[in-house]
Amino acid sequence: MRSRISTAFPAGPDGAGLPVVDRNAGTIEAVANDPAGVKLKLVGVVGALGGRSIVNEISIPVVEPVSAFASKTRGYSSAGQGQLSAFMDLDYWLTPDDVSFVGIEWQEPGGEQATLANNMANVRTWAVQNNRLDLIQHGGTPNTWWQIRKEHQGRRNWIEQTDVVGNIFGIDCGPGTFTWTISWAYRVKNPQGASKVFKRDVVHRLTATVNGQRGQATIEKMGASHTELYAVPALVPPPALRAAAPAPALVPPPALRAAAPALGAPIAPPAPRGVPPALPPLPRARQALPVRRGP
């Protein structure tokens, strides 16, 4: 891109070292070269010196935004029953902060595909089954350009928006990691310029960990983070496995185990129903022997 602006300017006061014939004989030319920067060319025509032109050029480099400072305004969870979630709201200030960026607009174009690790691969399966591929592709703000305010909360170059950062997934997606690596872009506001990416390493990451029946979801972006806890239900085998599992052997309580006969001892068969058990025979009474008496 190349543009030129010319305006008349007084070549200098009388007695400043150069005699001036026409105070409106000079021009300022601004030549914008992308990416070289902006060059100011001062051209003065001094008639008293034989109509010679005196040219002075000053080059001013264009300083682009490099990154941003992020501040978390709140953290929260949007999870329902059987879900894991972590969210935070972020404010951004473009850097470097010794340069004013009020003349540009900022955008997070979106379109990046997620990288899924461990159980987070279940996100892809669920998204395909339910036609929710937007859960895998970063949405961004492709149709919106955000303005830059000169100052906010004592910092320069505040982006006039709140970035809502987070995800909601089923608890079967933990443990695992869900990552977007995002690009940022800017454009000149007036006259409107073309979009230019200036940062390609903005990492949005949700990490889920599980410790027994206690889960933890942590969201991270631009150096800010927030953690939320979630419950992990006890594992229950599916019906097919439950039906195939053998029934557990019944173990009598200790008192019954102590009263049970020793292993290998004969056990009498139970008596038929309605028939009382046979009683053992009574011992025979001793018969009195005759006693012989003498004649």
Asked if the model's pLDDT at residue 40 lies above 80, the reply is no
**Cα–Cα separations (whole angstroms), residue 23 to 12, 40, 61:** 7, 19, 30
**Cα–Cα separations (whole angstroms), residue 32 to 44, 61, 148, 189:** 20, 10, 22, 15
Are 107 and 158 found together in one domain?
A: yes
Are 23 and 135 found together in one domain?
A: no
Q: What is the reported pLDDT for 8? A: 42
Asked if the model's pLDDT at residue 91 lies above 90, the reply is yes
Are 72 and 119 found together in one domain?
A: yes
Q: What is the reported pLDDT for 102? A: 95
Are 107 and 200 found together in one domain?
A: yes
State the Rg of the chain over Cα: 45
Q: Is residue 258 in some structural domain?
A: no
Confidence (pTM): 0.64
Q: Is residue 78 in some structural domain?
A: yes
Are 90 and 13 found together in one domain?
A: no
Q: What is the reported pLDDT for 234? A: 75
Are 30 and 146 found together in one domain?
A: no
Q: pLDDT tens digits, residue range 102-141?
A: 999 999 999 999 999 999 999 998 888 888 888 899 999 9
Are 78 and 116 found together in one domain?
A: yes
Q: What is the reported pLDDT for 146? A: 97
Asked if the model's pLDDT at residue 200 lies above 90, the reply is yes
Q: Which residues pair with 156 in a beta bridge?
A: 151
Domain count, the chain: 2
Asked if the model's pLDDT at residue 30 lies above 70, the reply is no
Q: Tell which wins on pLDDT, 183 or 261.
A: 183
**Cα–Cα separations (whole angstroms), residue 86 to 56, 70, 208, 229:** 58, 17, 10, 9
Question: Among all chains, which residue has been given the structure tokens 């173990």?
Answer: 251
Q: Is residue 273 in some structural domain?
A: no
Q: What is the reported pLDDT for 55? A: 62
Q: Is residue 290 in some structural domain?
A: no
Are 195 and 127 found together in one domain?
A: yes
Distance between CA atoms of 99 and 198, rounded to whole angstroms?
Answer: 15
What sign for the dihedral angle of Cα 248, 250, 253, 255? negative
Please calculate the CA angle 114-115-118 and round it to the nearest 5 degrees. 130
Q: Is residue 263 in some structural domain?
A: no
Q: Tell which wins on pLDDT, 269 or 191.
A: 191
Q: Given pLDDT bands bounded at 50, 70 and 90, which one contains residue 213? A: confident
Question: Among all chains, which residue has been given the structure tokens 């200036």?
Answer: 198
Are 88 and 55 found together in one domain?
A: no
Q: Given pLDDT bands bounded at 50, 70 and 90, which one contains residue 57? A: low
122, containing H or E segment: helix 121-129
Residue 1: HSE in the Cβ half-sphere, 13 Å Cα cutoff = 15
Are 82 and 192 found together in one domain?
A: yes
Q: What is the mean pLDDT of the chain?
A: 77
Q: What is the reported pLDDT for 231? A: 92
Q: Tell which wins on pLDDT, 295 or 90.
A: 90
* Two tokens, residue 38: 């902006």
Are 56 and 73 found together in one domain?
A: no
Q: Is residue 205 in some structural domain?
A: yes
**Cα–Cα separations (whole angstroms), residue 286 to 263, 280, 283, 289:** 39, 18, 9, 9
Q: pLDDT tens digits, residue range 216-273?
A: 999 999 999 999 999 988 765 556 654 555 656 666 666 655 655 555 555 556 656 6
Q: Lowest mean pLDDT of 128-132, 161-165, 166-170, name the range.
A: 128-132
Are 50 and 137 found together in one domain?
A: no
39, containing H or E segment: strand 37-46
Picking from 12, 32, 60, the residue at the C-terminal end of a domain is 60
Range of the domain at 89: 67-235
DSSP state of 137: B
Q: Is residue 115 in some structural domain?
A: yes
Q: Is residue 24 in some structural domain?
A: yes
* Average pLDDT for 70-89: 95
Picking from 235, 250, 273, the residue at the C-terminal end of a domain is 235
Picking from 39, 60, 81, the residue at the C-terminal end of a domain is 60
Q: What is the reported pLDDT for 236? A: 54
Q: What is the reported pLDDT for 233? A: 83
Asked if the model's pLDDT at residue 205 lies above 70, the reply is yes
